[in-house]
Amino acid sequence: MQKENIIEVRGLKKTFKKYERGAGLKSALKSVFKRKYKTVEAVKDISFSVKKGEILGYLGPNGAGKSTVIKMLTGVLYPEKGEIRCLNYAPWDEREKYVKNIGVVFGQKSSLWWELPPVDTYKLYKEMYEISDYKFNKNLKYMIKLLDIKDVSKTPVLKLSLGQRMRCEFISSVLHEPKILFLDEPTIGLDIFAKEKIRQFIKKINREKGTTVILTTHDISDVEELCDRIIIIDKGEHIFEGTIQELKNKYVCEKKIYVEFDEKPGRIKLSDCRVIRYDAWSADVFVDLKKRKVKEVVSELFRKYYISDITISEESVENIIKRIYLEAEKK
Amino acid sequence: MGIKKYTAYIGIEFKHSISHRSLLIAKIVAIPLSIFVMVAIWNAIYLNNDAEIIGYFTKEQMVNYSILSVIGSYLLANRSDMELGRIIRNGKLTNELIRPNQYYLVQFFKSLGFRTADFVVAAPISIALGVIFFGFKQYDYVFTLMSVLSFSLSFLLIFLFNMIFGLIAFKVIDYDNFGWLKNTLVSFFSGGIISLSVFPLFFQNTMMFLPFQHMLYTPIRIFVGGYVLEQCILFIFVQAIWVVSMFFIMKFGWKMAVKNFSGVGT
Ligand SMILES: Nc1ncnc2c1ncn2[C@@H]1O[C@H](COP(=O)(O)OP(=O)(O)O)[C@@H](O)[C@H]1O
Ligand SMILES: [Mg+2]
């Protein structure tokens, strides 16, 4: 069955004016009337769509335009050019109705009241999103357990650890069971334990409630564990769109074979391979996949040398993405 | 369309405000102290000039005016513009815009919530002290009632004016300077420092065409019996017109500002 598109974006563009402003009242007053600025093309011309129930990883180096896109998708920023349909709404024009159906977590901005326990904020959102008592209590209990949160009812937010706080932040954005969840760097600065809890949580609500998730992150393991599909953006333009497997197919051109020898092999000679030796007893063999199959190289190795152990590994996704960023940087 | 989602902000801001308990205590001390200073100054002025009436007010009216202007300045004070400046600067306006709300309503109910403790604690204590030590008195039930109505309109007016003036925060990095400057000017032109009745007539006539005197001076002068009934009704009507006009200016200005908002901070 073909799933429907829940988000559709066509020809999206956003330019910022960067004002040059001095400090102090005088220059501030001046800046109201006469202002110098540079323009920054944060998002150039972007089109894509997201299907219902998908988890999309939205990746890119710092300043690539991820947050700008997320802010336009969530109705915060006015899209300068192009068209956005989310859940059949135009996010900016129909903001108030639209945002009732979405949840958003900005990893660097808290939406909880610092001086009060999280539960006070939750109660506020209960009224805001018109959540019934039954649904509120059920969801809250379920999420506290799932995210392994210690105390939401007594401790003020400012006294929580970052890991606990982010988990509380998540609850505040999904209590109303949003159809789409936007996550802008939600795991930034968290320890492995908190990260893991949050990943499990995202997976669960995606599976159980069919929530569509758009995730930006710098943590590639988030992406590998969660995302069905990724988009890579750089300098405001998409430079890759597809599954992780498609990313590998497109960009991985080498595999590594680590070999340990029973007997010193002397000089190693293999065609279409790079061989790096660190000592007499072992070597890294990089196979150029465009020219040879790994299988062939392995059997050649066994034929020619006395081998005690062998490990085949491919380039990590993290490394691939790093390479893509670097290549884009050169252009 | 629920109003409940907005009134819920009264409760949470009230809790928030009493989590800053020291602020409330500071006010309970500061308000009577300011009143004491103001009353002492006016006593001296009336004594020195050997005058019965200064700027239409008897000494008793002037003392009452001063007491109410100190209390009123505190109660009607509104930080919506500073708050807007703050959330634009630290990027939290983004957090407001992802909520199914109108920001101005959120901010309005937050202001109400934040003032609740002042209304129920600081104000009654100050008025009680005023009655005991400075002979603060009520003039007439009709005037008091009208004055309460007028004070409510002042609250709205100050809120709306701040929301409009605060739009400057979309254009400058550090809004606070503008905020302080505005607060000082408004305080002066609304009669928060000295009753406008003591100024030359041409100044008073000019002020009539501006909104400022309706932010504080009007309700207090109504309370101390400084206007006849027809004048009271006229000025309350003028206040209402200002409130309605400012509402539409605010709505329009806000729409334009948010359209150009660039979402500072990532
Ligand atoms: N409010 C703003 N004013 C001016 N420039 C901005 C603003 N927000 C973002 N930018 C610029 O737009 C580009 C994209 O930013 P952003 O979307 O935040 O990137 P990312 O989230 O991928 O790190 C950057 O060059 C950034 O400096
Ligand atoms: Mg970002």
Any idea which residue has 């709205």 for tokens? B156
At A80, the amino acid letter reads: E
Torsion angle in degrees (nearest 10) through CA of A16, A22, A24, A25: -60
Residues of chain A found within 8 Å of residue B92, distances taken between Cβ atoms = 109
Helix axes A133-147, A118-128, angle to 10 degrees: 140
Chain A closest-CA separation from residue B164 CA (Å): 15
What residues contact residue A179 under an 8 Å CB cut-off, 6+ apart?
Answer: A6, A87, A101, A102, A211, A212
pLDDT digits (tens, 9 = 90+) for A288-324: 888 999 999 999 999 999 999 999 998 899 999 999 9
Which-ligand-closest: CA of A106?
2
Residue of B nearest to A93 (CA): B259
Per-residue model confidence (pLDDT) at position A280:
86
At a CB cut-off of 8 Å and minimum separation 6, what does A211 contact?
A: A53, A174, A177, A178, A179, A180, A181, A205
Higher pLDDT pick, B28 / A235:
A235
A75's tokens: 């109705």
pLDDT tens per residue across span A208-258: 999 999 999 999 999 999 999 999 999 999 999 999 999 998 998 889 999
Best to test chain B binding among A36, A58, A78 (most B CBs inside 10 Å)? A78
| B97/A106 CB distance under 8 A | no
Q: Is A236 in the pocket of ligand 1 (CB under 6 A)?
A: no
Distance CA A273, CA A132 (A): 64
Q: Is any atom of ligand 1 closer than 6 Å to the C-beta of A16?
A: yes
B49 in contact with ligand 1, CB cutoff 6 A:
no
Tell if the CB–CB gap between A115 and B262 is shorter than 8 Å. no
Q: How far is the CA of A239 from the centre of ligand 2 (A)?
A: 17
Query: Cα(B18)–Cα(B16) distance, rounded to whole angstroms?
Result: 6
Per-residue pLDDT tens digits for A233-244: 999 999 999 999
pLDDT of residue B266 exceeding 50, the answer is: no
How far from chain centre, in Å, is Cα B197? 19
pTM of the model: 0.89
Decide if A34 touches B, using CB distance below 8 A. Answer: no
Q: Which residue of A has its CA nearest to B21?
A: A115
- Full residue range of the structural domain in which residue B164 is found: 4-264
pLDDT in tens, B170-207: 988 889 999 999 999 999 999 999 999 999 999 999 99
In a 13 Å sphere around the CA of B80, the CA atoms on its Cβ side amount to 29
DSSP B53-111: EETTEEHHHHHHHHHHHHHHHHHH---HHHHHHHHHHTTTHHHHHTSSS-HHHHHHHHH
The mean of the pLDDT values for chain A is 91
Q: How far apart are CA B106 and CA B12, in angstroms?
A: 11
pLDDT of residue B1: 57
Q: Where are the beta strands (DSSP E) in chain A?
A: 5-19, 37-51, 55-59, 81-86, 102-106, 180-184, 212-216, 229-234, 237-242, 254-261, 273-279, 282-288, 307-314
pLDDT in tens, A19-78: 666 566 776 676 666 667 788 999 999 999 999 999 999 999 999 999 999 999 999 999
Q: How many domains does chain B have?
A: 1
Of B5, B100, B265, the CB nearest to A99: B100
Ligand with smallest separation from the Cα of A59: 1
Put simply, the answer to whether A109 touches B95 (Cβ < 8 Å) is yes
* Number of other residues whose CB lies within 10 A of the CB of residue B209: 8
Q: Where are the alpha helices (DSSP H) in chain B?
A: 4-19, 21-49, 59-76, 80-89, 93-97, 103-117, 123-134, 141-165, 176-189, 201-207, 217-223, 229-260
**Which one, of A112, A97, A226, lies nearest residue A171 by Cα?**
A112
Q: Is A24 in contact with A99 (CB distance < 8 Å)? A: no
pLDDT band at residue A89 using 50, 70 and 90 as cut-offs:
very high
Asked if residue A173 has its Cβ within 6 Å of ligand 1, the reply is no
φ and ψ at residue A261, rounded to 5 degrees: -105, 150
* Record: contact A78-B15, CB cut-off 8 A: no
Contacts of B97 in chain A (CB under 8 A): 74-76, 95, 99
Question: Given A17, A109, A121, which is nearest B94 (Cβ)?
Answer: A109
Say how many Å lie between the CA of residue A68 and the centre of ligand 1.
6
Q: Assess whether pLDDT exceeds 50 at residue A131.
A: yes
* CB proximity A282 to B under 8 Å: no
